[in-house]
Structure 1
Amino acid sequence: MNAPIRRLSVLATMLFAMLLLSTTWIQFAKAREINAKPDNRRTLLASYNRERGSIIVAGEAIARSSASTDELKWERSYPLGELYAHVTGYYSFIYGAGGGIEGADDDLLSGRSDKLFYRRVSDLLTGKAPVGASLELTINPAAQQAADKALGDQRGAVVALDPKTGAILAMVSHPSYDPALLASHNLGAVEKNWLRLLKDEGNPMINRAIAGNLYPPGSTFKLVTAAAALESGDYTQDSRIPGPAALTLPGVEKPLPNHDGQACGANDETTLLHALEISCNTAFAALGMKLGPDALQEQAAKFGFGKVLNVPMRVTASSVPTGMNEPNTAQAAIGQYDVRTTPLQMAMVAAAIGNGGEVMSPYLVRRVLGSQLQTIDEASPKSLGEAVSTSTARQLTTMMEAVVSQGTGRAAQIGGVQVAGKTGTAQHKVGAAPHAWFVSFAPASDPKVAVAVVVEDGGSAGSEAAGGSVAGPIAKAVMEAVISS
């Protein structure tokens, strides 16, 4: 064989080898990834040949599949629509599964999960039609409805947790949308609905409870600052600290004032307890500078700031900025500057205090169920660690009870129930009304529920908004719903 022919045969052999390797790589190594792509038409068509599992709250399906007579053999429906939109998410032939449980646990609902392998084998041997797993959630329907109704047409979010387990009892984000708009088999209508939702200035598809543009927590962050002070061993709830009408910050011309322009106590002093009760800005700003930025960051991290959680939806990590100077630290200590958080994170702060200092990992799926509603898997509460000592948690609880009984959080009082809470009014943009916050737990001595509420731009109260008067009644409604259910 002459040299040119030999070289050509070697080249041809190499090309065939490369083709064999590439097809092997695509068909085996990359098969799972390709099948999982939401725009893979063959995968989507195959998934519509199988009944998708239901999403269940207190025995009622809030997302379910019904037989269809068209090419797509099953159609998804959402009986309670907007009430659970950010919990369920959507399931669409065009846009796949996303936005909530539908996307986060698609492999279970569709029946593709490795957890269901033995059940798939059993179905194959017995000739049963394959069915996706159903998911029973931790949501308390009374709490969900109370949060949705109390938030009303205001933009914002509400999260409620079981402090002892981390189970999510309510998750509401407004504005909301109806997932059925994206689940229809009228694909032309689905495309129009999708574009309309994307163009909506209220961003209804964003779950403000766990994602989106995070919020400055305002004075609710004073709980973290107070925790850092108590944990340092240098302070107790009765320690006297500076609380002037305005605090001069190093290198800053304009002093930092209290909201009412008054000193927080006689001789420009107050106790740590009273400072939290009346939400004294100058006291906590001075305390933050005394503690230093590292103490604030470390304490926030113990409560969960900086952690990326999955509930199973991915939760955007809350943050306390690094590299802060003294004025930055003073502002951060009162929940301003560049401190950013989700309502879920602030619910975790309140829940940890109510739980004796231990932070529980939040979760939304209680049980994975088979086609006969038999339990395949069940969630177990998991601890994220100790945020504060039992002693510190006890003192913070006493301080938070004072906030509700005689301080800025009186609107959250519940007859016959001791409530622990903290208000927040967060500045976020020049010329805009502040966000109104409230975090709480109840009953204070043995909590059944911890709540965080944020109402954007003061809600219906606008520039006159205060966390206690706007967000407090919403938290109260949710706490009452859980306690009485």
Structure 2
Amino acid sequence: MNRPVRRLAVVVALLFASLFASTTWIQFVRAEALNTTSGNSRQLYAELGRDRGQITVDGRAIATSVEVEGDDYQYLRQYADGPLWAPVTGFYSIRYGATGIERAENDVLAGTSDDLFYRRVTDMLKGEQPRGGSVALTLRPAVQQAASDALDGRKGAVVALDAETGDVLAMVSGPTYDPNRLATHNGTDLTDAWRQLNDDEDDPLVNRAIGGNLYPPGSTFKIVVAAAALESGSYTADTLLAGPARLTLPQTTTTLGNDEGTACGPNDQVSLLDALRESCNTAFASLGMDLGQDAVAEQAQKFGFGEDLSIPLRVTPSTFPSDLNQPQLAQSSIGQFDVRSTPLQVAMLSAAVANDGVLMKPNLVAEVRDQSFNVVDQPSSDEIGRAVSADTAATLRTMMEAVVSRGTGTRAAIPGVEVGGKTGTAQHGVGLPPYAWFTSYAIQGDRKVAVAVVIEDGGSVDSAYGGRLSAPVAKTVMQAALSDDGWGQR
């Protein structure tokens, strides 16, 4: 073979090698990424050409796919009682992708999950059309409906948890939206719906229970500070704290006052229990400064602040600020300054107290079933960790029960049921109506439920107290959760 022929052979061999390498890279290494990219129309047609699995609650489908004729796509996604469940289900759109459970559990619903591999092989061998698996949620219809009705169209959120397992019993965010508008295959209607929902200044597409612009938790954060004090061993429920009408913050001429404008007790002193019962700002601001930033931050972390949760919806981590000076620490100790929280996190505070100090990981998925409705996965109840000792949890329950029986949260009381709670009124701007908070737990027999409610801009500056607005909502939700319909077979 002469030299030119040899050179040509080398070039041809290199070209074949390059072609083989690029084909291998595309078909094997990059296959998954290319298949799942939002711009892959073949993948979209493939997904909408199969029967996407159901999302169910208590055995009833709340998201299904129906076969349509004369359409570019074979199946249309439909949502029963769409606005009620939208904060959790999210939507599945041919143009705008998926959110909520539709996105978090897409591999199951689309039938591509590894858990469904053998079912896919069986369908292929039988020549059957591929189908998606189904996802059953932990939500309880009676509790979700009660939470939605009690929020009554106001901006805010409600979360209810089974304190012992972490199961989410209700998750409502207001205002909500109808996901059917975003599931349509009509391009004009779809574009109009997307534009209207995104232009809405009330942000209906945001699940306020777990994300968006997080809220200052206000006085609900006093549970964390009280827990840090009790855990330190230097305080009991009867320890007297300074509770003057106004507290001058260190190194400033700024004063911090109580909501009622009066001292919290005789001689400007109040017990830790009574400070929580009547939500004494000056006592908790002083207590936080005495404990120090590290102690308060560590206790917040034990309750879940900073935790990057997937339930499997992604939860924006709640935050407690760092590098605080004393005035900032005082404000942070009453849930102001730069403390930010989701309603889910605030519900977790009460859940850990009700559960003898053990914090459970919240969870929305009860089980996953294959195309023949055989259970292929059943998430277990997982502990995040111990937030406080059992003794501290018992003391906190005594203190939170006093809030409900003879404090700021009496509107949450349920006859014959052990109920503890904490009100909160969170300032978020000069002259703006505060956010009205309430977090609580209810224990009846072996049932333990924890609830958090936040109502945005719930009234005038003087009236938007969590005890007036949010406590009645929490009571309604707790009653629904403790009922046989609310608890159910989970």
Deviation at 1:17, TM superposition (A): 4.6
Structure 2 counterpart SS, 1:166: coil
More deviation in 4-13 or 256-265?
4-13
Give the match for residue 469 of structure 1: 468
Alpha carbons of structure 1 residues 371 and 240: separation in structure 2 relative to 1, 3 Å? same
Say whether the 8 Å CA contact 1:85–1:179 is kept in structure 2: yes
Percent identity among equivalent residues? 55
The answer to whether the aligner puts 1:268 opposite 2:268 as a matched pair is yes
Deviation at 1:125, TM superposition (A): 2.2
> Residue deviations 1:117-165, cap 9 Å, x none?
1111122223333210111110011110011111112100010000000
> Residue deviations 1:312-370, cap 9 Å, x none?
11000001011111111111110001000100011111100000000000000101112
Deviation at 1:443, TM superposition (A): 2.0
Deviation at 1:377, TM superposition (A): 1.1
Give the match for residue 140 of structure 1: 140
Give the match for residue 351 of structure 1: 351
Give the match for residue 246 of structure 1: 246
Question: Structure 2: how far apart are the matches of 1:410 and 1:376?
Answer: 45
Give the match for residue 413 of structure 2: 413
The answer to whether the aligner puts 1:231 opposite 2:225 as a matched pair is no
Alpha carbons of structure 1 residues 288 and 8: separation in structure 2 relative to 1, 3 Å? farther
Structure 2 counterpart SS, 1:443: strand
Structure 1 counterpart SS, 2:159: strand
Deviation at 1:38, TM superposition (A): 2.6
The answer to whether the aligner puts 1:207 opposite 2:179 as a matched pair is no
> Residue deviations 1:358-400, cap 9 Å, x none?
0000000101112332211111100011000000000000000
2:157 partner amino acid? A
Question: Structure 2: how far apart are the matches of 1:446 and 1:252?
Answer: 50
Question: Structure 2: how far apart are the matches of 1:328 and 1:168?
Answer: 34
Question: Structure 2: how far apart are the matches of 1:108 and 1:224?
Answer: 38
Say whether the 8 Å CA contact 1:401–1:421 is kept in structure 2: yes
More deviation in 23-32 or 205-214?
23-32
The answer to whether the aligner puts 1:92 opposite 2:93 as a matched pair is yes
Question: Structure 1: how far apart are the matches of 2:293 and 2:11?
Answer: 64
Question: Structure 1: how far apart are the matches of 2:461 and 2:172?
Answer: 21
Query: TM-score, length-normalised on structure 2?
Result: 0.95
Give the match for residue 479 of structure 1: 478
Deviation at 1:2, TM superposition (A): 11
Give the match for residue 488 of structure 2: none
Deviation at 1:7, TM superposition (A): 8.8
Say whether the 8 Å CA contact 2:431–2:461 is kept in structure 1: no
Say whether the 8 Å CA contact 1:354–1:447 is kept in structure 2: no
Give the match for residue 191 of structure 1: 191
Give the match for residue 107 of structure 2: 107
Structure 1 counterpart SS, 2:264: coil
2:79 partner amino acid? Y
Say whether the 8 Å CA contact 1:355–1:447 is kept in structure 2: no
Structure 2 counterpart SS, 1:195: helix
Say whether the 8 Å CA contact 2:53–2:131 is kept in structure 1: yes
Say whether the 8 Å CA contact 1:47–1:110 is kept in structure 2: yes
**1:44-63 counterparts in 2 under 5 A?**
44-63=44-63
Alpha carbons of structure 1 residues 410 and 446: separation in structure 2 relative to 1, 3 Å? farther
Question: Structure 2: how far apart are the matches of 1:171 and 1:256?
Answer: 34
Say whether the 8 Å CA contact 2:77–2:180 is kept in structure 1: yes
Say whether the 8 Å CA contact 1:245–1:257 is kept in structure 2: yes
Say whether the 8 Å CA contact 1:316–1:342 is kept in structure 2: yes
Deviation at 1:423, TM superposition (A): 0.3
Question: Structure 1: how far apart are the matches of 2:429 and 2:40?
Answer: 42
Question: Structure 2: how far apart are the matches of 1:301 and 1:15?
Answer: 58
**1:4-403 counterparts in 2 under 5 A?**
17-69=17-69, 70-98=71-99, 100-403=100-403
Question: Structure 1: how far apart are the matches of 2:267 and 2:385?
Answer: 40
Point out where structure 1 has 5 or more consecutive residues left out of the alignment: none
Question: Structure 1: how far apart are the matches of 2:5 and 2:266?
Answer: 101
Deviation at 1:462, TM superposition (A): 5.9
Alpha carbons of structure 1 residues 269 and 74: separation in structure 2 relative to 1, 3 Å? same
Alpha carbons of structure 1 residues 258 and 9: separation in structure 2 relative to 1, 3 Å? farther
Question: Structure 2: how far apart are the matches of 1:198 and 1:4?
Answer: 65
Say whether the 8 Å CA contact 1:273–1:399 is kept in structure 2: yes
Alpha carbons of structure 1 residues 2 and 471: separation in structure 2 relative to 1, 3 Å? farther
Alpha carbons of structure 1 residues 46 and 243: separation in structure 2 relative to 1, 3 Å? same
Question: Structure 2: how far apart are the matches of 1:13 and 1:299?
Answer: 66
> Residue deviations 1:415-459, cap 9 Å, x none?
22221000000001122111000000002785521000111112x
Structure 1 counterpart SS, 2:157: strand
Question: Structure 1: how far apart are the matches of 2:86 and 2:92?
Answer: 11
Question: Structure 1: how far apart are the matches of 2:131 and 2:205?
Answer: 28
Question: Structure 2: how far apart are the matches of 1:406 and 1:38?
Answer: 55
> Residue deviations 1:20-71, cap 9 Å, x none?
4334222211110111123321101001121011110111111011111022
Structure 1 counterpart SS, 2:457: helix
1:52 partner amino acid? R
1:62 partner amino acid? I
Deviation at 1:296, TM superposition (A): 0.8
> Residue deviations 1:149-196, cap 9 Å, x none?
111121000100000000000000001110000111112211121111
Say whether the 8 Å CA contact 1:38–1:97 is kept in structure 2: no
2:291 partner amino acid? L
Deviation at 1:6, TM superposition (A): 9.1
More deviation in 243-252 or 446-455?
446-455
2:179 partner amino acid? P
Alpha carbons of structure 1 residues 252 and 62: separation in structure 2 relative to 1, 3 Å? same
Say whether the 8 Å CA contact 2:236–2:272 is kept in structure 1: yes
Question: Structure 1: how far apart are the matches of 2:119 and 2:21?
Answer: 33
1:223 partner amino acid? I
Q: Count matched residues.
A: 483
Say whether the 8 Å CA contact 1:354–1:444 is kept in structure 2: no
Say whether the 8 Å CA contact 2:404–2:421 is kept in structure 1: yes
Question: Structure 2: how far apart are the matches of 1:240 and 1:369?
Answer: 56
2:104 partner amino acid? A
Deviation at 1:483, TM superposition (A): 1.1
